[in-house]
């Protein structure tokens, strides 16, 4: 049966740039986020980790090896050491000839810098922050995140402020956020292995489901079922045209993609 639907709010789905415009640019760099804003992303996704000296930095992996010219574990390095690395040039080695990646040096991006740039931008895109890693950091990521959001007066929504959403695969981390920052939106990320638990609704304190694209591809009714409970559905990581078309057809509420320009184009044309 052909499943059709529309986003809960009725408008088009939001376009969220995953790690910035990270298909063409080195992920989690300021350049990747500026590019995402330029191509019309409605929101920016970033992963955050704690350095050894307790700064929140925008890095996906536990180690710095893949996305910089350094070696080691983020949580064992101090910010000044991360600042000494090049987070940009690695991308050129992964690019094919048709792409034009930013081949230049890029600095580590702290969450503070990213928030500052979002707040200062004209369009003020949503900022979607994924906290890694709830057990290793024992809640300190969430506590420091809440302190930082407080510094920028972002713990409550308001006119002229970007919308903040916090995401995690860990329900424990989500519960911590619900306690510490009840007015900040929360997204329960859902992997293939955890999806049966969330087939009918979500755990308490969450109103947004964040399934992997594969879950939605295999089971498009997932979206209608979550909508039935009043939950939005924000799908990741959606880079292929047939997947974007499916997301549009079944009415997901946000499309999280490494290719925000492509998604913007298809959303606007739909």
Q: Are 43 and 15 in contact (CB under 8 A)?
A: yes
Site string for Ca ion, 125-144 (x = CB under 5 A): -----x--------------
| 228 given a catalytic annotation | no
Coil vs helix vs strand at 235: strand
Minimal distance in Å, beta carbon 36 to ligand G3P? 13
Crossing angle (nearest 10°) for helices 111-120 and 140-151? 30
Q: Are 48 and 129 in contact (CB under 8 A)?
A: yes
Q: Which is nearer to ligand G3P, 103 or 217 (CB)?
A: 217
How many Cβ atoms from other residues are within 10 Å of residue 4's Cβ?
A: 11
Q: Which is nearer to ligand G3P, 197 or 228 (CB)?
A: 197
In the list Ca ion, ligand G3P, none, the entry touching 253 (Cβ below 5 to 8 angstroms by class) is none
Decide: residue 6, CB within 10 A, 0-12 exposed, 13-18 middle, 19+ buried: middle
Minimal distance in Å, beta carbon 131 to Ca ion? 10
**Positions that interact with ligand G3P (CB under 6 A):** 18, 45, 47, 60, 130, 189, 210, 236, 256
C-alpha 133: how far from chain center: 15
Phi, psi dihedrals of residue 248, rounded to the nearest 5°: -70, -40
Chosen residue from 24, 27, 47, 126 binding Ca ion by CB under 5 A: 47
Both tokens assigned to 259: 């290719």
Minimal distance in Å, beta carbon 217 to Ca ion? 19
Minimal distance in Å, beta carbon 234 to ligand G3P? 8
- C-alpha span between 145 and 115 (Å, rounded): 11
Please identify which of the residues 60, 133, 227, 234 carries the catalytic annotation.
60
| 60 given a catalytic annotation | yes
In the list ligand G3P, Ca ion, none, the entry touching 137 (Cβ below 5 to 8 angstroms by class) is none
Q: Which residues are catalytic?
A: 18, 60
Residues that bind Ca ion (CB under 5 A): 47, 130
């Amino acid at each position: 049966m052909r499943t059709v639907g529309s986003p809960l709010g009725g408008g088009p789905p939001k376009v969220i740039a995953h790690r910035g415009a990270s298909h063409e640019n080195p992920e989690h760099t300021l350049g990747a986020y500026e590019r995402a804003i330029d191509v019309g992303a409605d929101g920016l996704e970033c992963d955050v980790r704690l350095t050894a000296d307790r700064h929140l930095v925008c890095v996906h992996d536990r180690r710095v090896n893949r996305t910089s010219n350094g070696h080691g574990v983020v949580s064992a390095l101090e910010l000044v050491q991360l600042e000494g690395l090049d987070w940009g040039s690695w991308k050129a080695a992964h690019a094919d000839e048709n792409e034009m990646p930013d081949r230049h040096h890029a600095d580590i991006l702290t969450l503070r810098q990213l928030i500052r740039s979002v707040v200062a931008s004209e369009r003020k895109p949503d900022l979607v922050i994924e906290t890694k890693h709830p057990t290793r950091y024992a809640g300190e990521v969430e506590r420091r995140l809440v302190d930082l959001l407080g510094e920028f007066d972002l713990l409550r929504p308001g006119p002229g402020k970007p919308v903040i959403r916090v995401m995690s695969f860990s329900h424990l981390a989500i519960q911590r956020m619900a306690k510490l920052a009840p007015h900040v939106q929360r997204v329960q990320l859902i992997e293939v292995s955890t999806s049966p638990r969330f087939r009918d609704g979500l755990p308490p304190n969450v109103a947004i489901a964040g399934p992997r694209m594969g879950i939605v591809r295999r089971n498009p009714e997932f979206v209608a079922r979550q909508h039935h409970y009043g939950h939005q559905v924000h799908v990741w990581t959606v880079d292929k045209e047939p997947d974007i078309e499916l997301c549009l057809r079944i009415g997901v509420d946000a499309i999280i993609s490494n290719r925000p320009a492509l998604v913007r184009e298809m959303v606007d044309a739909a």
